[in-house]
Amino acid sequence: MSSGSHPGLSLTFLVSALTAGHTAGTMAMFVLPAVAPAVADDYSLDPSLIGYQISLVGGGMFVSLSLLGNLSRKLGACRSYQIGLGLAGTGMLIMLLPWVPFLVVGSIVVGLGYGMLTPSSSKLLVRYTPAARRSLVFSVHQLGIPFGGILAALVGPAVAVAAGWRWSVLLSAALLYAVIALMQRDRREWDEDREPNAPAVAGNPFAGVTTIWAERSLRLVSIAGICFSWAQFCVVSYVVVACVQTLGMSLVVAGTVLTVVQATSAVSRVFVGWLVDRAQNAARVLAWVAGILLLACLAALGMSPALPLLAVYLLFAVLGGTTGSWPGTVLAEVGRLAPQGQVSLATSGALVIINIGKFAGPALFAIVYAVSQNARHLSNSFLTSAANSCGGFPTAAVPSACMRRAASGFCTALRASA
C-alpha cells in the first residue's frame, strides 16, 4: 500500500513503524503499573501510589506537548518522533537506579518523550493517508497503545517474577531504541517538508491550546477526550493493584486481566474507527460508547473476591473496550478539523487539554483509594470500584453533553432516556 500523493513511499511501512513506536512507548508508560506490587515490595511502598507515578508521566507529557509541539516543523516529524522515543528510553534507564527519587525523575522523562509521539505521528499520517480512510488508519495506528499495554501486562509480571522488575524496565527501554533504528530507513523522505528555520520551542506554550479553544468543534472534541482519558488511565493503572490487593490474585493472573483490558481496547479502537467512517458521525458513536461505559462502571460496584474469574474478565473487557476506543477517532477528528498546515500544532493543543484527564484521574483515584483504606464501614473492594466510577461517570456524562450540539437529535433522545 502506497500513499496516494507520495506513491514512492509505503503507507504500510509508515503505519507499521509508527504503531511499533507507540507500542514500545506505551509499554514504557505502563510497565511500572503492571509490576507495581513488586516495585512496592522492593521500596516498602503502598502499591496504590502507582497512581501518582502515572500522573508524573502525564505531567511530563503536558510539558512536551506545551513547549515542543513545533519541533516536528523544524526537525521533521520522523526525527521528532525518534527524539521522543529516545527520551522515553532514557527515562526507563533512569528508573533502574535504586533510589525512589529516580522513579520520579524517570517517570517525568518518559512523559516528556511520550508526549512528542502523537503530534509528530499525526502529522505524518495526515500527510500520507487518503482522506476516505483516515479514521480507520488512525485507529489502526492507535493499536500500538493497547499492544504496548498487552506487552506490559504479559511480559512485565512474568519477567518480574522470574528475574526482577528492573529487567522488565530494561526490556522496555531496549524496544524503544530498536524502533528508533527501524524508522531511520525512510526518515529523509518523511522529513522532506521540515523547516530548519522554524523555532524548536513554541514562543507561546499554549498556542496549540489557543488554536483548539478558538474553534468550537475542536474544543468539544478535546473535552470529550479529557473524560475518556480520565477513565482509561484509572482503569489501566489500577487493574493489577485491584486484582492483587482486593481480589487476592497473583501478580501473573492479575496481568492476564490487564491483558484482557488492553486486548478489548485494541479491538474497540479499530471497530469504533470503522464505525465512524461508515456512519460519518463521530459524535454519535462516542456518545453511545460513553453510555455503555457508564453502565460498566455501575456494574463494577458489585466487584468482590467472590466474583468468578470469568466474570472479572468480562467486566474488565467491557471497561477496557469502552475506555480505550476513543483515541483514533478523536485524533482523526482533530486532524480533520485543524486549520490548514496546523495539524501538529492542533494535535499538541488537543493533547494538552486531553492530558488533564490523564494527569488528574489517576491522582484522584489514588486519593480515593487511600481514604477507602481508612473507612472501616466500607469494604476496600466497594471503594476501589467506586474510584473506577469516579473516572467513568464524567467520561460517560461529559462527552454526551459536549456532543449533544453536534448530533442534537441523537443526544436529545439519549438525554430523554437517561
In a domain, 247, yes or no: yes
403 Cβ neighbours under 8 A, 6+ residues apart: 220, 224, 283, 284, 286, 287, 411
pLDDT in the model for residue 87: 96
In a domain, 197, yes or no: no
In angstroms, rounded to a whole number, what is the distance separating the alpha carbons of residues 252 and 226?
31
pLDDT in the model for residue 9: 56
Q: What is the amino acid identity at position 30?
A: F
In angstroms, rounded to a whole number, what is the distance separating the alpha carbons of residues 205 and 215?
18
In a domain, 195, yes or no: no
The single-letter DSSP state of residue 339 is P
In angstroms, rounded to a whole number, what is the distance separating the alpha carbons of residues 316 and 296?
9
User: Which residue carries 505531567 as its cell?
Assistant: 59
Q: What is the DSSP string of 199-221?
A: -SS-SSTTHHHHHHHHSHHHHHH
Closest to 355 in 3D by CA, of 203, 193, 212:
212
Evaluate whether 259 touches 146 at the Cβ level (below 8 Å).
no
pLDDT in the model for residue 202: 65
In a domain, 193, yes or no: no
3 state SS of 2: strand
The overall pTM is greater than 0.85:
no
35 Cβ neighbours under 8 A, 6+ residues apart: 156, 157, 160, 165, 168, 240, 251
Q: How far apart are the first and last CA of the chain?
A: 45
CATH number, domain containing residue 344: 1.20.1250.20
Mean pLDDT over the full length of the chain: 79
Domain span at residue 344?
11-187+203-417
pLDDT in the model for residue 75: 85
pLDDT in the model for residue 373: 57
Q: What is the pLDDT of residues 5-26, one digit of tens each?
A: 454 457 888 888 999 999 999 9
Q: What is the amino acid identity at position 313?
A: Y
How many domains are contained in the chain?
Answer: 1
In a domain, 149, yes or no: yes
pLDDT in the model for residue 412: 37
In a domain, 173, yes or no: yes
Identify the segments of the chain with pLDDT beneath 50: 1-2, 4-5, 7-8, 374-418
pLDDT in the model for residue 102: 93
In angstroms, rounded to a whole number, what is the distance separating the alpha carbons of residues 228 and 60?
20
pLDDT in the model for residue 190: 85
In a domain, 171, yes or no: yes
In a domain, 207, yes or no: yes
